[in-house]
Homo-oligomer: A and B are copies of this chain.
Amino acid sequence: MITYNQQNGAVSLHSPTSMPNACGFLWNENMMIQMNCRGYAVAQFMQPEPAKYAHGPALEAKTFMQPEHAYFSHHPGRFFYIKDNQTGEIFSVPYAPVKQAHSKFEFIVDKHKISWKVEHLNLTCHLSLSLTAEDTAELWQLSVTNHADSIRDLSIYSYFPVGYMSWMNQSARFDDTLTSILCESVTPYQKVEQYPVQKDFKDTTVFISDRNPTSYETRQVIFEGEGGLNNPDAIKNEHLASKPAHYQTPAAIMQFTQSLSPEESSQFNFIFAPVKDAKEAKQLKQKYLSSEQKLNKAKQKYQQYIATSDNKLEISSPNNALDNFINHWLPRQVFYHGDVNRLSTDPQTRNYLQDAMGMMYISPDKTKSAFIKALSQQHKNGEMPDGVLLNADSEFKYINQIPHTDHCVWLVICIEAYLNETGDYDFLNQDIPFSDNQYSVSVLEHINLALDYLWSQRDSRGLNYINQGDWCDPMNMVGYKGIGVSSWLSLASAYSMKLWADVSVAVGESAQADKWRQQANTLNQDVNQHCWDGEWFARGITDAGNCFGVSANTEGRIYLNPQSFSMLSGAITEQQWPLMQAQIKQQLQTPFGMMMLAPSYTHMHEEVGRLTQKFPGTGENGSVYNHAGAFYIFALFERGETDTAFELLNTMINPSSDSDTLARGQLPVFIPNYYRGAYFQYPEDAGKSSQLFNTGTVAWIYRIVIEQLIGLKGIKDGLKIQPQLPSAWDKLEVTRLFRQSTIKLNVKREEHISEQQVLVDGIPLHINQQGEFILAIKPKQNYCIEVALPLAPSVN
């Protein structure tokens, strides 16, 4: 059902009905397209706020990207109808709108290209989408080959609906000098101030063909007629009406009549893009469709852009599907996050920082720039804003209008990771200003202020206030009166102080280090005193003084995050750990991963707030929320619980069978923000992918793979070597680029040894005083590391 191309990582789906929501996505720095296997599409570009160039048939709400996106027959998409003019038979490519059963179907998601191979009526149709590295433009190619013994007389119709562009002004026309359909519109405006902003919008959507069509149609409703999209009236005729649309919903429909001899092929190239005007459309055509060389070069260039994330890490493990994901898709998704900020102009601070953290394995300079930008928006009292404004005109939207209390934590955690990966401790001395004050202080000082701010935001119990929310959890009514506290945030504060204590030591600030350690210990003790429920940690204490996320609750009884962070911060004791681990497993673990909380809330709890209004098992309300899951895995690896950690890691990224993949409804080409949870409440729906590929998860999973599973972790003075292989693996081969050097790692289990042994370029590396294998790394060298591990305890 699903196949992999081992060479380039491409993943193929062989039926459009088995997994109707399967999709791939492509992006460049200014746009993103999520392409569904059936031809439906969700595409956005920045101008400078996120905008669309193909719309649904109704006025759509402007909203953040939604999980579990639903497709319907008039959803935007990119389709072709093929008609045999002799028999009148029709089918469509990729699958919708006709939805006939093809003789053969393949949906191929490549890193730089999404394509289909469809065989039907003795014809083979290859359809592919590429983007460009420079422009907001889709490059479509269709080739049709006749496998019959006789000459075929075909009509090939594009059907690219453009939808309800604007109630103010919309129209469509064919331009024969451009062989294009131009769908023109004006973005509605009412206030005079809007005009200067909007007047340069790319309000025209153009469909450019590299050849002249036989006929065309621009009016959605006329095209469809009474037959509907599965059998449109217009293509029952010999030719389309070739008429413009005047304030009717536009669509880009071209007919190409084509005669094909046996085994003859014909190839069509198209561009679909938002442009300012016909002049821009002309430039696009010139740039991409004026010669085959230009087009191929542009596609190569895009492939190179996407390949930025290639070859930083390659692993060869006993698990090929896992390798495929880690070598090809995981870094690609990490790169996407680090490169385009989820196509937003005000990324949430915590997302922005973690996305930047992931990027340190691919383009550490980008990571550093992002940190500088974030730090320059810190308040002089140490507080971090809810979002990072990327442009002068950006403003806080959606959830960024709700104050959250956790952003300082991520600053510390992510910069600590960067220092270790890059060794760039000079960064700590760089001076950066504040948002509300032009004087500059060093990065080190910025972070000290952030930690001081966290320390200042505690109640009389010593716990961090939660206010209207911490992290992604929309618990907006726990502490909105200014009383309620968060155990998770208190633990995360403690964890970040511990991390920073080590950095402080490394830069010779031992007094600071002592302060951070002492404060961290105090936080850990206070959480233990007020939030230990007997077998796990509560999630917090409400304005009304009630502990929640505790055994007395029937919904939201246990939350994963406080447990994970108690492991990271050191709040959990050896006595508590087995109790907590058992409860996590029993209450939160599902075959699809760890639920973020359980049982999911089924109705409003006014002491918790918005979270409890979310549908059970979706989003933060008890889904298998991968971002939370990643921290548990991270913490498990840190504790040396390798097999459990690996099992959860593998579950998250690598469905163990086709039927698991089908249950997810998603190809293994990205990690979604969640799989449906509420496993014990709604078992039938559990495991379903949200299909939303924007998630803080991937930076952490990449970090886990590199630093824990593979065990090639950067530290100030080089590389710490400590692979944590699951018992079931007896070997692992890795190539990693690290500080401009190439590290080859070869891990094997060997009999008769009881401790890890390391050879570097054939020479034994000795364990240091801390019991660690540290290798000093010089830039632009090759290192060959051989690690011998003891045999695993026998796996039953």
Contact = CB atoms under 8 A, between A and B. Distances in A.
Interface string A492-534: 0000000000000000000000000000000000000000000
B70 A73 contact: no
A244 to B, nearest CB: 9
B247 A68 contact: yes
Interface in A593-620: 604, 606, 609-610, 613-618
A634 interface: no
Given A62-B61, A99-B228, A169-B615, A70 B249 contact: yes
A195 B477 contact: yes
Given A17-B226, A59-B66, A682 B246 contact: yes
A387 to B, nearest CB: 13
Interface stretch (A186-194, A252-260, A374-382, A703-711): A186-194
Contact of A246 (B164, B228, B685): B685
A189 B99 CA distance: 37
Interface stretch (A397-405, A415-423, A738-746): A397-405
A62 B73 CA distance: 22
Given A170-B615, A190-B610, A468-B192, A228 B228 contact: yes
B190 A401 contact: yes
B615 A171 contact: yes
Nearest to A97: B228
A23 to B, nearest CB: 16
A398 B249 contact: no
A247 B618 contact: yes
Interface residues of A, number: 62
B476 A66 contact: no
Contact of A614 (B74, B169, B191): B169
A615 B168 contact: yes
A317 interface: no
Nearest to A185: B615
Interface string A383-412: 000000000000000110110000000000
A728 interface: no
A62 B58 CA distance: 11
B75 A58 contact: yes
A171 B681 CA distance: 14
A230 interface: yes
A99 B195 contact: no
A105 to B, nearest CB: 13
A199 interface: yes
A465 to B, nearest CB: 15
Interface string A616-627: 111000000000
Contacts of A606: 195
A73 B227 CA distance: 11
Contacts of A226: 17, 99
A248 B70 CA distance: 8
A192 B58 contact: no
A72 interface: yes
Contacts of A246: 615-617, 682, 684-685
Interface string A467-492: 01000001011001000000000000
B249 A195 contact: no
Contacts of A230: 228, 230
A580 interface: no
Interface string A171-206: 100000000000000100111100100010000000
Interface string A61-86: 11100111010111100000000000
A613 B168 contact: yes
Interface in A44-70: 56-63, 66-68, 70
A680 interface: no
Nearest to A248: B70
A167 interface: yes
A734 interface: no
A796 B398 CA distance: 67
Contacts of A398: 190
A265 to B, nearest CB: 29
A252 B616 CA distance: 21
A375 B584 CA distance: 65
Contact of A192 (B189, B228, B249, B609): B609
B66 A190 contact: no
14 contacts: A58-B60, A59-B61, A73-B74, A168-B615, A169-B613, A169-B615, A190-B398, A190-B610, A191-B402, A195-B606, A195-B610, A246-B617, A246-B685, A247-B615
Question: Which 4 residue pairs of A and B lie closest in terms of their CB atoms, listed nearest first?
Answer: A57-B72, A59-B61, A247-B615, A169-B615
